[in-house]
């Protein structure tokens, strides 16, 4: 190694879980170093939904008003269209939360905001262009991380390592943690389509014969997620881009006449290979995995970011005070790692169960249909009894076992 540094806690991954946890730990007086492999946060088609539960966390941190001053759109409900029928499937205005909407904000804006507040604490250190490549281990315990940086190889010695490096986590693989693959029979094609002044407002989805697309209203454009069978991208590309544009325009008639310009080549269509899995054990002495590194989620419901943020809040609630105590060693930290998993495993299991059930019982049969389906009875019921819309709104916007900020705050 050409260089080495020491920190109390090293977090691999500068996504929502990593940056939020870094902020919360630094706020509690912990010396924390976050590694982000890219030079910035500017990447398309990452989760851009900030849920009511996360907005509640921002309020508890005293940051909500400043956060909502950043560019964003508000989604007060979610709608699904089948043929000429439309159903409102979730109404966030009915939630018992401070904000009755999902804030549609580019993830780089969200991460920039968290970083800007985290750097106000002297213990927060963010290393960009620093990719975690492996673990340092001694006597059966993780004691640090190796990283590749613009200046060469770096070793970070740490009292605790957090793996928040995504669904293809390098650290969970290096630790030999066992992954339970729950299966995902779908993939998603992401694309952005310019929005015109006469387009309807609001996020939702459209169902057609063998097709489903989710449309997120981003104000000036539509962020679209076109669901396909697992591995189906080759067959779609073989039919040609013109055929794909035709299928999309038939499913979303308002797109007719604009797709040649919006999707001029396959480069404008990004493939997300969907996976649903979780670690059987999220930790080993000296290491804890959270967010997608602990549990990869399907994009169904857009709840992955929500769960990652909740993981970060729970981790800080349980660990911050101990990590802030310089006298607390491995014997004090290790038992707390099990507590984090115990706290967050129930919501993880239930959300993944619901996602797999939706994949197998709703989306898969839909993709196999040759004729446009009728509006399902459950969605018709939501139209007839608006009060029921709070149930899916709560599942998506708040979730099971929402976390609240209870970690300490140092004076700066």
Question: Are 175 and 128 within one domain?
Answer: yes
| The pLDDT of residue 258 is above 70 | yes
* 10 vs 210 pLDDT, higher one: 10
Task: Please state the domain count of the chain.
Answer: 2
348 is a domain residue: yes
Question: Are 99 and 133 within one domain?
Answer: yes
Domain span including residue 150: 3-182+275-397
Which residue pairs from 378-387 have beta carbons closer than 8 angstroms and sit at least 24 positions apart in sequence? 379/80, 379/82, 379/87, 379/89, 380/87, 382/87, 382/88, 382/89, 383/87, 383/88, 386/88, 386/91, 387/94
Spell out a b/e string for 311-323, using b for 16 or more CB atoms within 10 Å of the CB, else e.
bbbbbbbbbbbbb
pLDDT digit string, tens, across residues 329-341: 999 999 999 999 9
pLDDT digit string, tens, across residues 178-229: 999 998 888 899 999 999 999 988 788 888 877 888 888 887 889 899 998 8
Please give the average per-residue pLDDT across 266-294, as a whole number: 94
| The pLDDT of residue 362 is above 80 | no
Q: Which of 25-39, 170-184, 212-226, 266-280 has the lowest mean pLDDT?
A: 212-226
| The pLDDT of residue 81 is above 90 | no
When pLDDT is cut at 50, 70 and 90, the band that residue 412 belongs to is low
Question: Are 206 and 307 within one domain?
Answer: no
Question: Are 246 and 133 within one domain?
Answer: no
Which residue pairs from 128-133 have beta carbons closer than 8 angstroms and sit at least 24 positions apart in sequence? 128/14, 128/36, 128/38, 128/39, 128/40, 129/36, 129/37, 129/38, 129/39, 130/35, 130/36, 130/37, 130/154, 131/35, 131/37, 131/170, 132/12, 132/13, 132/35, 132/37, 132/165, 132/170, 132/171, 133/170
| The pLDDT of residue 367 is above 80 | no
Please give the average per-residue pLDDT across 145-151, as a whole number: 94
| The pLDDT of residue 142 is above 50 | yes
pLDDT digit string, tens, across residues 85-111: 888 889 999 999 999 999 988 888 999
Percent of the chain with pLDDT over 90: 66
Question: Are 23 and 93 within one domain?
Answer: yes
324 is a domain residue: yes
Q: Residue 268 has which token pair?
A: 């404008």
Alpha carbon distances (Å) from 99 to 8, 76, 217, 224, 392: 35, 10, 18, 25, 16
pLDDT digit string, tens, across residues 14-23: 999 999 999 9
pLDDT at 45: 52
289 is a domain residue: yes
Question: Are 220 and 240 within one domain?
Answer: yes
| The pLDDT of residue 327 is above 80 | yes
| The pLDDT of residue 349 is above 50 | yes
Question: Are 263 and 376 within one domain?
Answer: no
Mean pLDDT across the chain: 91
Using the Cα atoms of residue 374, residue 379, residue 382 and residue 383 in order, give the sign of their dihedral: negative
Question: Are 242 and 313 within one domain?
Answer: no
Indicate the pTM of the whole model: 0.92
Please give the average per-residue pLDDT across 288-312, as a whole number: 91
Question: Are 36 and 172 within one domain?
Answer: yes
pLDDT at 1: 46
> What's the chain's length in residues?
412
| The pLDDT of residue 404 is above 80 | yes
Please give the average per-residue pLDDT across 49-70, as a whole number: 96
Question: Are 119 and 45 within one domain?
Answer: yes
In CATH, what number is assigned to the domain containing residue 105? 3.50.50.60
Question: Are 280 and 168 within one domain?
Answer: yes
- Of 273, 307, 326, the residue that ends a domain is 273
* 207 vs 163 pLDDT, higher one: 163
The answer to whether 309 and 211 are in contact (CB under 8 A) is no
């Amino acid at each position: 190694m050409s260089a080495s540094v020491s920190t109390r806690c090293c977090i691999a991954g500068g996504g929502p879980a990593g940056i939020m946890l870094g902020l919360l730990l630094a706020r509690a007086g912990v010396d924390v170093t976050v590694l982000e492999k890219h030079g910035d946060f500017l990447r398309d088609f990452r989760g851009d939904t900030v849920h009511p539960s996360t907005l509640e966390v921002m309020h508890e941190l005293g940051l909500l008003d400043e956060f909502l001053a950043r560019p964003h759109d508000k989604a007060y409900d979610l709608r699904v269209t089948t043929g000429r029928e439309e159903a409102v499937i979730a109404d966030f205005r009915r939630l018992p939360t401070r904000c009755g909407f999902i804030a549609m904000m580019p993830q780089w804006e969200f991460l920039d905001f968290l970083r800007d507040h985290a750097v106000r604490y002297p213990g927060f250190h963010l290393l960009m262009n620093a990719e975690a490549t492996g673990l340092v281990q001694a006597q059966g315990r993780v004691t640090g991380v190796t990283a590749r940086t613009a200046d060469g190889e770096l070793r970070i010695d740490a009292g605790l390592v957090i793996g928040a490096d995504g669904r293809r986590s390098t650290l969970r693989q290096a630790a030999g943690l066992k992954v339970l693959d729950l299966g995902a029979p779908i993939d998603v094609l992401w694309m952005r389509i310019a929005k015109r002044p006469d387009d309807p407002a609001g996020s939702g989805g459209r169902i057609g014969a063998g097709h489903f697309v989710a449309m997120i209203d981003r104000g000036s454009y539509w962020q679209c997620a076109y669901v396909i069978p697992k591995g189906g991208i080759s067959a779609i590309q073989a039919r040609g881009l013109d055929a794909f544009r035709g299928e999309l325009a038939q499913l979303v008639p308002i797109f007719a006449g604009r797709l040649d310009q919006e999707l001029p080549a396959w480069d404008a269509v990004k493939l997300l290979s969907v996976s649903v899995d979780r670690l059987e054990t999220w930790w080993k002495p000296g290491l804890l995995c959270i967010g997608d590194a602990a549990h990869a989620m399907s994009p169904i419901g857009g709840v992955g970011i929500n769960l990652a943020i909740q993981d970060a809040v729970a981790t800080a609630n349980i660990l911050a005070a101990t990590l802030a105590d310089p006298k607390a060693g491995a014997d004090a930290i290790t038992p707390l790692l099990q507590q984090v998993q115990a706290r967050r495993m129930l919501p993880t299991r239930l959300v993944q169960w619901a996602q797999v059930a939706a994949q197998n019982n709703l989306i898969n049969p839909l993709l196999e249909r040759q004729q446009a389906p009728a509006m399902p009875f459950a969605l018709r019921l939501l139209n007839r009894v608006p009060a029921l819309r709070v149930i899916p709104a709560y599942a998506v916007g708040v979730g099971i076992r929402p976390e609240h900020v209870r970690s300490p705050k140092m004076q700066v």
